[in-house]
Each structure stands twice: as C-alpha cells, then as structure tokens.
Chain A
Amino acid sequence: MSQLLHLLDNIKSPLILWSYWLINWGKILVFVLKIGPLTAIKGLREYPWLKILLQVNHLHLRLSKGRNGRYLLATAAVLSSVISGVTEFIEETLTSSGEMVLHEDMIPPEILRAMGLKPFMAELLGILLPMIDSHAVENYIDRCEAEGIPADLCSLPKSTMGLILSGHVPLVQCILSSNLPCDGGMASYALITKELQKPVFYLDIPYDFQSGRAITYFIAELREMIHWLEIQTGHKIDWKKLRRILENRNKMVALELEIWEMLRQKPAPMVGEPIWLNHLWSFNVQPGNPASLRLFRKVHRWTYKNFKQQKAAVREEKYRAILWNPPTIHFIDLFNWAERVYGVTLLIDSMSYNRLPYVDTTSNDTMLEGLARIIMQGPMARHTRGPAENYIGDILYLYETLQLDMVWVAGHIGCKSTMALNSMLREECRQKSIPLLIIEYDLSDPRIVSHERITGQVDHFMESVMEAEKLS
C-alpha cells in the first residue's frame, strides 16, 4: 500500500511542480500586461533589481526540489504567494509618484496600511534579491563600501544603503526607522536620511522591552509616530481598517500556533519553507492581508491532514533541527539540500518564533499595545536586543518542545551581537549535550563564505558530531 502511495506521489509531484510553475509565470505575465510594457521597460531602466525580482519563479523550482505530496503543495503555494506579493510590491513601486513611505523592516506595515499609505520596506530587496540570485546585492555592498562604510558591517544594511546610494529606490515622502535590530541597522538610517533628504521619525525601543514601563513608553512612541505621519502625509489613521487588518492577523496567528503545535509530532507533518518563509513573508510584508490568511489556511489544512495521517512532510526525516538567526539568504537552498542529503528537517527558525500571538482589538488603545508588543518582539528584535536570556532561552525551550536533535545557528559574521552570544550558547549546549552547529558565513555576500564552504561545514558537523551518513 505504501509503495502504491509512493508511486502516486511520484506521478503527482511533477504535475504539482509544473502547474505551479505555469501559474506563477502566468501571474508575472498578467502583471506585466497590467502595468503595460512601457512602464515595465521604464521600471527595468530605473530599478535594475527588477530583472532579478522577475526571476522569482526560479525559487519555486529550487525550493521544491525532491519534495512531494502536501509538503510540495505547501512549498509551491508559499512561493506562489510570495510571487503575487512581489508583483504587488513592484506595481506599487512603479506606479508610485512619491507617496510611498520608506520604513525599516523592524516596523511592520499594519499602521501604514491602515492610514492608506504605501509602504516601501527598505530592507526587503536586500533580503529577497540574494534569495533569488546569490550574487544579486554584491554591487550594492561594494557601492556602500566605496562610500567608506566599513566592510565588517552587516551586509543587510550595507546592501540597503547601497541601493539608496545607487538611487535604485522610488521617491518617498518620509522615512520611518528605529533602534532595532542592531547598531548597524540603526546607524544606517543616518546615511539613508541624509541621502534621501526626507523627514524621518525614529522609534526608540528600550533595552529591557519586556517590562511594563517599556511597553507604556513604546505605546507612546507609536502614538507620536502616527501623529507625525498624519502631519507629514495628510493621511489619517482609519482605526476600523486597522482592526480589520489585526483581526485577520489574529486569525493567521491562530492557524500558525496550531501548525506549530502539530510540529511536535515525529516525524513532522510540515517543515521548511511552508513554516519559515510563509511566516517571513506573510507576517512581515503582508500581515493581515486576505491573501496571507488564505495561504495560512491552506498550509494549515495540508499540515493537519499529514498530522492526522501521521504522514511525514519529508519521507526520511532523520534529524529535527531549528535555525537561529536570519536564514542564509544567499544560500536559501541550504535546508532543501540538508533535507535531501541528510534527512535534516527544519522545523522552525528564530525569525518565525518571536512575536506575541494575539492583538486585543477591543479598542484603539489595546490595538496599539498589541502592535507595540509585536514590534518590540519582532524578528531579531526579540533575540538580539535585551539581555542574553532572550536569545538562549527560546532555543532551549524549542529544543525540548519540538524534540529536536540539533540546533543550527546561522553565524552571520556581520552580526556582532549574536556572535558574542555564541560562546554562551555553546556552553549551554555543551552542558545539556545538545548538538550545536554554528555555520560561519555572511548573510548576503557569498564572496565571504561560498555555498561549498557552507555545505562543507554542515558535512563536517554531520559526520563528526552526528555520525550521520548521507542518504544519497
């Protein structure tokens, strides 16, 4: 019976793969026709990164490699949703005539959307482009370093500053930034503001953001930001719209929490991109968007079916892992590779495991409080600001809860804060006999550590610590 199911999977998988591939190209084609070829050509001239973004469908083939069944369906659906989101992002950028608001990735766009504003997340391209093409932001990094920015700075703010310095961003009316997630990210906005010559509002997040005093402080910061935005843009906040966004967001959270709960089952019913990329995109770029909610419903449904049938997402799940720190964005195929070569499944990552779940939507005040908590505990913010317990505590909790076999840390050489925490993490893991792999690499610059050297580190760890044999 199981052989028959395997056979069926093997027949269905290429169908799923190629039908999504066609759907995705269809979406891109419709988008080009919608904006018109002239706008598209103009856009390609103004924003050279568009050429790379339009190749986003390559990700679909790369990340679906070796997958089948509902896992493949979920992976394809997530990628397809990202492609839709990318086309929307490009459309907003190309049709903008200076009304966009440039915001740092740590400030989620719910408030901007509720004000009827078009957000332009400055770091989004620095994250997305290397996922599609590993070398995509090298020029921007070089451009930034040519301005005297130190090479040892994190490559994400470097690529973002490089984009700005190259003039490859749309005209914006104002800028939102904060002191998150690190000194480099925060300080980069001094250059960005100077370059764009636009008014800026900085949100200040206290060090010990878990305290009640800090929450009160930060709610007041958000109020001030809204007031400032209303003056700068002439747009008023629509609280009803914000409530709708947050209610949808809450529904996404409910589904996500159930998915996470199901991950405890061994073997896991869903892993990889349907978990982490889905969260990264849906919660950070399109929170509360009906399309994001639909996607979560689909992923939840497939996960639940696998869960009920005790079916593994990955046929040969041999090792369960988490990834801490931002994913290896210039080598986003790492876990697909690890899955196929060693049967390592990625259950969750630190970029997903952060935000507090629900926003109380009963009043404007409670909504602001919920958003304040979300921002303060946002991706990277929760783990890299504040005391070390924030970073290590969650890892140890997930290790127990998800019955992990190992912990992987993407040891991004530009992240001074987490690099300094790794000695403490090593010690904790040693004491608790938790196998720990710290991959030394650079977040978005493959010239620092190549893909081969990354897989070499994994091979070394798997062979010497896990005593694992390759599956194929």
Chain B
Amino acid sequence: MGPSMLSEFRTIFQEKTDHTFPVPLSFWKGKGFHPLGYMCSCVPTALLSLSPFFPVRIQGSSSHDTYLGDAHLSHVACSYTRALFESALQGDWDELEGWIFTAGCDHLRRLKDVLEREKKIPFPFIFDIPHKHSKQAHRWFVSEVTNFLNALEKSFGCVIDENILNESIGVHNELCTLVEELSALRNSSSSPISSPDFFRLLRALDQIPRYMSIEILSEIVTGQKSKKQTEITGPRLIVIGSIMGDENFLKAINEWGGNVVAERFCTGDYPVYSSIELLSDPIESVVNAFFRQAMCPRMMETYSNRLSHIITLIEAKRIDGVVLSPLKSCDLWGIESALLLADLKKHHIPVISVGREYNLSGERQLQTRIEAFLEQIGSR
C-alpha cells in the first residue's frame, strides 16, 4: 500500500516548515495568523479563511473518559460535546483566538452555555443558522454573515471588503477542488486510498492555515494519481451518520472484511469541503452555497433531498452496503437513521444502523454486527 497519506503529509509539512506535525497553534500565531475554532459543519468555513485568519476544527478529547463533560453536560449529552468540553477544559484549545459556535443542535447550544460559564472564551460568536430555506431565511443568514464579519472587524481591527472575501472564497474553492480530486480517486475499485487514511488526512488539513493545506494537498494528490492501483476486496461500503472522533471505526470495519469507500458525516469529505459558486456578491455566494450544501438533519424540510443525495452517491460509487452510525443521544441523527434505514431497505440497499460514541468503543459487539452484515451482503 505504500506510506499513508498522513505520513506523506507529515513529510511535506516538515520540508516546508522545518517542524514536525502537529505543531501547536502558537506556531501559526507566531507567523501572524489568527486561528478561529469551529465545531459544526454548518459554519461557513470560507469566512474563517480570510487572511490572516484560518479555521481550525476543534476536536474532542480522544480519551473515553469525559469526567468533566459528564459532570457539567450530563451523561445524556452526546459524547462529541462531552469530549469537546473535556478537551477545552484541559486547555487543549487555549491558543485559539475565536470560538465560532452554531445553534446547530441542542447539544452544541448547551456546550456554549456551559463552556462560557467555566472558561473565558475569546471572541465567542454563535451563528444562528435557519432550519429551512426560504427567501427570508436566506436574508436572515445574510445578516448573520454580515454580523459575523462586522464583529470580526471590530474585534481584530481588520478591514474586510469584497476583494478579501472573494479571495477567501477562492482559497476555499482551491482546497475543495483538491479534496474533490482526491475523493474522486477513491471511486476506482483498486484505489490505494483507504477511508481511515483519507479521514486522518482531512483532520490534519483542518488544523493548519489554508495556504499550507493547499500546498501540501496538491503534492499529495499528484503523488496519489501516479500510485500503483491495488485490488481491494470486500464489499464497498459507505458510512453515514454523526460526527466521528477518530478513524478507528472506519479502520475496524475494513479490518473486519469491509471496504469503506465513501463517507457522509461531518468530518468526512462532505460537506465542509464543497466548492462555493462565485456570484457578484461574495456574501450571497457563501449563503447560497450553505443552503445548497446543508445536509445536516437539523434542516427541517430536506429529508427527501438528503435521501436522494445518498442514493446518488450509492450509485455513483457502486456501494454494496450502507452503515448508518448515529451518535448515541443525537436525536437528529437518531431519527434520520431510522428513516434512512427504512427507505434504503425499500430501495433494496443492504443497510445496518449501529449507534456509536464519538471515539470508538464496544468493538466486540460492533464486530459481531458488522461481520453479520458483511455476510448478509456477501450472500446476496
């Protein structure tokens, strides 16, 4: 299989910076960048890529123990928000210069409340994102974006004009095009790119300034194109569901005989890395793109669109089976998964739903279920 993409990433990163990845955020701050943290894919990250800012996806603690999160947010909060809280309280994200929240779901809203009470948060901003797409919802989101940009200007003493916004969208699109190219390479039945590898690469890209992500990714994409194709066996799977903390879930499925070739969750290739169509007004461009791309079950009217999108993906990527994986306690994905389970079955698509936590746990039980599912696909 050759070196993983993350190893390549590390090598290129070291060549370019003389430092070993990962570097602390203070490294970038020393170079004049302002890292802005976000934790929900509904945040328009193109706006966080305005130079000298860059978006950093805040990740939860990789530990299964979330004592502080459990105590403050309760055990019924999803493990993602508890892990985020744990990580934040341990000081993992103290170098961030801004925290961009969304009213994305009940858990994230409460995370903001509790976190702000326990810790001084620099530049806390909450995007009040509509739950539907209508003319006035569109106008509402435009004013949200405008408010955000005004707040950014006021707090950081910078000037943001149309040119800067267009430039930022350009940078965002450049990165998205590269991710899309890399993602397309996975369509081949003998692609050397594994799902865990892809996942880890995206996570790494989420921690550095966009210009650096583009430089490194273009080298990786060129390298991957010339890589030897390897025949990979096992049913081609897509994993759909809530956010994922590490690649272990994907890795485990592959080890148990599956072959994850596509993902549809927040830290997979969708929807953060989707290009923005440039219109005459950059804010309109960002808002339009959001409504076109928003695929989170928090959007009230678009279940059938999400289902169609998934079916299209299944056909395009020649998927043999679907693994639905909602986070426990995630009401949005919990209900969405039940609906998808029924609808995909109606389309005669093999599907399984396995509730999981943010970081992989309960492997044995999971293994039994996944193996049984793979056998079921194999016997078709």
Contacts and interface: CB of A to CB of B under 8 A. Distances in A.
Interface stretch (A149-157, A311-319, A344-352): A149-157
B332 A150 contact: no
Interface string B76-94: 1110000000000000000
4 closest A-B pairs (Cβ-Cβ)?
A148-B338, A207-B103, A420-B110, A388-B113
Interface string B121-146: 00000101011101011001001000
Given A207-B109, A420-B73, A420-B107, A188 B335 contact: yes
Contacts of B126: 207
A217 interface: yes
Given A148-B341, A206-B140, A187 B329 contact: no
Select the residue from B71, B78, B131, B341 with max chain A CB neighbours within 10 A: B131
A104 to B, nearest CB: 11
A188 B303 CA distance: 12
Interface in A406-433: 413-414, 416-417, 419-424, 427
Interface of B: 71-74, 76-78, 103, 105-107, 109-111, 113-114, 117, 126, 128, 130-132, 134, 136-137, 140, 143, 297-298, 300-301, 303, 326, 328-329, 331-332, 334-339, 341-342, 353, 355
Nearest to A411: B74
A416 B117 contact: no
Interface residues of A, number: 44
Nearest to B327: A150
A308 interface: no
Interface in A196-229: 200, 202, 204, 206-208, 213, 217, 220-221, 224
B131 A186 contact: yes
Given A152-B328, A182-B106, A183-B298, A419 B334 contact: no
Contacts of B140: 206, 213, 217
A186 B299 CA distance: 10
Given A419-B74, A423-B72, A150 B326 contact: yes
A183 B76 contact: no
A190 B331 contact: no
Given A187-B331, A416-B329, 9 more contacts: A149-B335, A152-B328, A186-B131, A190-B339, A416-B106, A417-B109, A420-B73, A420-B77, A420-B106
A419 B110 CA distance: 9
Interface of A: 147-150, 152-154, 177, 179, 182-184, 186-191, 194, 200, 202, 204, 206-208, 213, 217, 220-221, 224, 384, 387-388, 413-414, 416-417, 419-424, 427
A458 to B, nearest CB: 20
30 contacts: A148-B337, A149-B338, A150-B329, A150-B335, A152-B76, A154-B331, A182-B106, A183-B105, A183-B331, A184-B331, A187-B297, A187-B336, A189-B300, A202-B131, A202-B301, A204-B131, A204-B137, A206-B128, A206-B130, A207-B128, A217-B136, A221-B136, A413-B76, A416-B74, A416-B76, A416-B77, A416-B110, A419-B74, A420-B74, A420-B106
Contacts of B339: 190-191, 194
Contacts, number: 136
A184 B107 contact: no
A431 to B, nearest CB: 12
Report which residue of A183, A186, A220 has the largest number of chain B beta carbons within 10 angstroms of its beta carbon.
Answer: A183
A177 B114 CA distance: 29
Given A388-B113, A419-B76, A153 B134 contact: no
Contact of B303 (A154, A184, A194, A417): A194
Nearest to B70: A423
Contacts of A417: 106, 109-110
Contacts of B77: 416, 419-420
Contacts of B337: 148
A206 B131 CA distance: 9
Contact of B110 (A150, A217, A388): A388
A147 B338 contact: yes
Contacts of B335: 149-150, 153, 184, 187-188, 190-191
Majority secondary structure, B binding face? helix
Nearest to A209: B128
Most buried by B among A148, A149, A217, A384: A148
Contacts of A152: 76, 328-329, 334
B134 A224 contact: yes
Contacts of B136: 217, 220-221, 224
Contacts of A221: 136
Contacts of A191: 335, 338-339
B372 to A, nearest CB: 17
A204 B132 contact: yes
B331 A147 contact: no
Contacts of B329: 150, 152, 416
A388 B303 CA distance: 30
Contacts of B297: 187, 190
B334 A153 contact: yes
B308 to A, nearest CB: 14
Contacts of B110: 388, 416-417, 420-421
Contacts of A194: 303, 339
B74 to A, nearest CB: 4
B336 A190 contact: yes
B294 to A, nearest CB: 13
Contacts of B109: 207, 417
Q: Which of A189, A213, A416 has the most CB of B within 10 A?
A: A416
B369 to A, nearest CB: 14
Contact of B331 (A189, A200, A224, A416): A416
B62 to A, nearest CB: 22
A190 B298 CA distance: 10
B76 A423 contact: no
Contact of A422 (B74, B105, B300): B74
A182 B331 contact: yes
A186 B132 CA distance: 12
Contacts of A153: 331, 334-335
Contact of B143 (A190, A213, A388, A423): A213
A217 B78 CA distance: 31
A149 B334 CA distance: 6
A387 B126 CA distance: 10
A186 B333 CA distance: 12
Contacts of A388: 110, 113-114, 117
A208 B128 contact: yes
Contacts of B338: 147-150, 191
A459 to B, nearest CB: 23
A61 to B, nearest CB: 36
B355 A150 contact: yes
A202 B298 CA distance: 12
A224 B332 CA distance: 26
B345 to A, nearest CB: 10
Given A204-B130, A207-B103, A177 B328 contact: no
Nearest to A211: B128
Nearest to B140: A217
B353 A148 contact: yes
B57 to A, nearest CB: 21
A179 B131 contact: yes
A414 B114 CA distance: 19
Nearest to B341: A148
A417 B113 CA distance: 11
Contacts of B326: 150
Contacts of A183: 105-106, 298, 331-332
